[in-house]
Structure formats: structure tokens, C-alpha cells
Structure 1
Amino acid sequence: MFHRKPLEERIAERVAKRPPLKEGKHFEHRPALIVFCVIIALVALKIVGAFVLMKWGVQ
């Protein structure tokens, strides 16, 4: 329609330009690490909160 490459080809070209991931590194960029840590913290807080409510006998 606008003489552009399909989305899959554009993504493949962009991925091919990136350098390989360093050995032992699990997250490619900092925001991914931050989001992962926030999700883990929320899950832990929810579990701890549930145990506290059970301890106090709140229903």
C-alpha cells in the first residue's frame, strides 16, 4: 500500500542489527529488569499480606 516492508521483515532487520546478548545477562535493557522486580515485589507483598491477615484472624 505505502511501499513498506511487512512488519515481520522490519522487526527481523532490527533484531539482526542488535549485538549479541552478553554471557550471563538475562535482561537486554534496564526497564525489563525494573518491571520484573516490581512484579516479583507485588507478588511477595500479596503473599505476606495474606499471611498477616490470617494471623490476625481477619476474614
Structure 2
Amino acid sequence: MFRRKPLEERIAERVAKRPPLKEGKHFEHRPALIVFCVVVAIALVKIVGAFFLMKSGLR
């Protein structure tokens, strides 16, 4: 529209500039690791909270 490359081409160029992923690493960048850890922590808190409520007899 304004003489810009399509989004797919811009993303492909950005991905091509990245260095290859190091052997043994599961996350490409730190924010992905942080988001993963937060999601796992929330799930664990919910499970522990539900277990506590069941043990205390509350519904």
C-alpha cells in the first residue's frame, strides 16, 4: 500500500538475520522463558489451591 514489503516477507527477513539456535536451548529469547514459567506457576497455584480447598472441606 505504501511501498512496504508484505508482512510475510518482512518476518522472513528478520528470521533469516537471526543466528542459529544453540544446541540444547529450548527458548530463543528470555521473554519466552519468563512467560512459560509464569504459566506453569499459575497452573501449579491453581492445583495446590484446589487441593487445599478439598482438604479443608470448603466448596
TM-score when normalising by structure 1: 0.96
- RMSD across aligned C-alpha pairs, in angstroms? 0.6
Structure 1 runs of 4+ off > 2 angstroms? none
Question: 1:45 maps to what in 2?
Answer: 45
> Partners in 2 of 1:3 and 1:31 — Cα distance?
32
Show CA shifts across 1:7-42 (max 9, x none).
000100000010000001000111110110011001
Structure 2, unaligned runs of 5 or more: none
Question: 2:6 maps to what in 1?
Answer: 6
> Partners in 1 of 2:13 and 2:31 — Cα distance?
23
Question: 1:28 maps to what in 2?
Answer: 28
Structure 1, unaligned runs of 5 or more: none
Question: 2:56 maps to what in 1?
Answer: 56
Size of the alignment, in residue pairs? 59
> Partners in 2 of 1:26 and 1:15 — Cα distance?
17
> % of aligned pairs identical?
81
> Partners in 1 of 2:2 and 2:58 — Cα distance?
61
Question: 1:15 maps to what in 2?
Answer: 15
